[in-house]
Structure 1
Amino acid sequence: MTDPHLYRHLDEMAPWNDRLQMLEVIGVTDEAPEVKTFTFRSDAQTWFRYKPGQFVTLELPAADGPLMRTYTLSSSPSRPCSISITVKAQAGSIGTRWMFDNLKPGVRIRAFGPMGDFSHHNHPAPKYLFISAGSGITPMMSMLRWLNDCAPWTDVSFVNCARRPEEIIFRKELELLGTQMPGLSLGFMIEERSSSRESWFGHMGRIDAVRLPLLAPDFQEREVFCCGPDPFMRAVRGMFEAAGFDMRFYHQESFGAPPVEPLPIGTDAPEAEKSIGAKLPIRFADSSVDGECLAGQTVLQAARASGVRISAACEFGLCGTCRVKKIAGEVEMNHNGGILDDEITEGFILACCSRPLTALEIEA
């Protein structure tokens, strides 16, 4: 019997809260060789509020202990009752292989987010260029799906690179969208022909300074979003820089740690910075553990030294996984967008990038 609560109107439902709810798998779809889309709903039948292009961090209950894995959403917030991630199983991948083997309809897992700044909502423009390779297509698909639902007349040049034709993720849907969105221009580029009998009459090779203008002749006039493997993103960024592109309008998705400036601790440092160098007591209330935060340690490092587990993934303040509530005390927190202002107001901190300034008590 179908749950009658499934038929509530959106204004009768609360938004998703990753501190209170879990995700339940409702669908698994094969997209391309070694690529699957996993679709989830909230186990409390809440709705999802996020920006297209953002990501979530999943806590995968593997046999050897929880695995934290970050994935960009491929779904659109214009369809808020479910979210989807599309993942490719790379050689030697552990988390993705666990998902392929274990995530079936009905399975529930914890998730954190959505978070992230890689979204066209943050950079409104009259014309876009979405350029991607491999599974880097996922945030572009999220943004394009939103545009199709909410602004289908938008001028979008969509370029995707793959090794073979059958490895172009979402190819059929993209070709369908190409017939529905009058401003959408599709450009596919492959490195080698298909091992099957499928014919290919499109572009071949790797994208470079010659092929880019063929795929997007007016790229200089567009707001650019790029995502893919690191070598691909480095090459594309280099092309745009060499072409004299105004890099204020170039954005790329990356889960790599940004460079960290050394913290000056010394007689001439501000008082707040000096206090970070002191050994301070820290209480983990939920675990009833009293520990110490040594000079230079973050709250996350102090928790691990005290045997207290705080979930963490990126560990440089981007993903928001290590968000915990501060009961008492003060910290200095230098994050990279992994926590919202209203969460900070409520007393939450990111353990990975917070250093105590005073004795501290947190919910952990």
Structure 2
Amino acid sequence: MTTIVRVAARGDGVADDGRHIAFAAPGDTIAADGTVQPGPHHNVPPCRHFPACGGCQLQHLDDESWSDFIVERVASALAAQGLSAPIRMPQLSPPRTRRRATLHFDPAGRLGFAQEKSHQLVDVQECHVLAPELFALVKPLKRLLPSFKPKRRLDVHLALADQGVDLLVTGIAPEGLAHADAISAFAQEHRLARFAFDDGMGPETRWEPDAVTITLGNVPVPLPPAAFLQATREGEAALVAAVREAVGDAGIVADLFAGLGTFALALPGRVYAAEGARDAIAALKAAAGRAQRLVFTEHRDLFRRPLTTAELDRFGAIVLDPPRAGAREQAAQLAASIAPAIAYVSCNPSSFARDAKTLCEGGWRLDWVQPVGQFRWSTHVELAARFSR
């Protein structure tokens, strides 16, 4: 009888004979007729929409095997670049803690995530990933959105801000008094922090009784519509803790790809923060100024104009949190710098490993990697790592 020994990058179980078996967990056995006999790590998927819904790929794994999957993803990416490092136990976010998500609404009235490997939508009736405050809006939105008579698919961006749910609908611009009244009534009834629309010309806020903020490092930061946030509070806390450990007591730190200031506002001492998104860096600048934090901000495209080695050498530590593509250009400059430590935060083990190779070839040492699983039951892996000279 064939046994599943691990889970591949896309979520398939890999048997000891090399076969890939969909929705199989380590320890499952495969009978001669191809049926899967659940083993000790096979979880009963809690959601009726699994596996059709593309929001989750790994609901059939228990937390132990999901953790092992995350560690193997990181180790395999490093090994592909000829690297290795101590990999810590992943920090996993619990179910129903996702505080930001993008759902889709189609003219047929379906609202939900796209099906796995398809553009078809799953009309969600339940979700074990979304925070309850976000999921509570699904049914009300299914009643509201048809009134705008959309002719194409809409994107519905949900985020949990300090004041409540921040809602942005892209792909349509409501017009007329009836729509204005419906928007106001909906926002009041469901106590929205903000309700905005974007038809392609930029977000237009239709409801925002109080300025919307997100608290980062105990500082309220203005939250632009659909701005990037770490997916869960638990995931954010794990990444911040790892970055603080990696940076140590450095008196002056550079935070590159700083976003709204998730790390810049959590660090002691003076911080230089660079970010290419104008609205994000403006929000960070305003928040740091009001809180009298020692954060100097710069709007800077780090892909086209990375910090030079001479600029990097001024800092006691560097924090790096690039998008999925990684930071190839910035890593090349970092490789030659003499800053004592780097905290690298990544949402893509492959691009991280590529940049890690560049750094290690420049004389850096990869001290440790802290994986974070904040996209519950997903193949998506995040991490924070420390490099030192």
TM beyond 0.5 = no
- The TM-score with structure 1 as length reference comes to 0.33
- The TM-score with structure 2 as length reference comes to 0.32
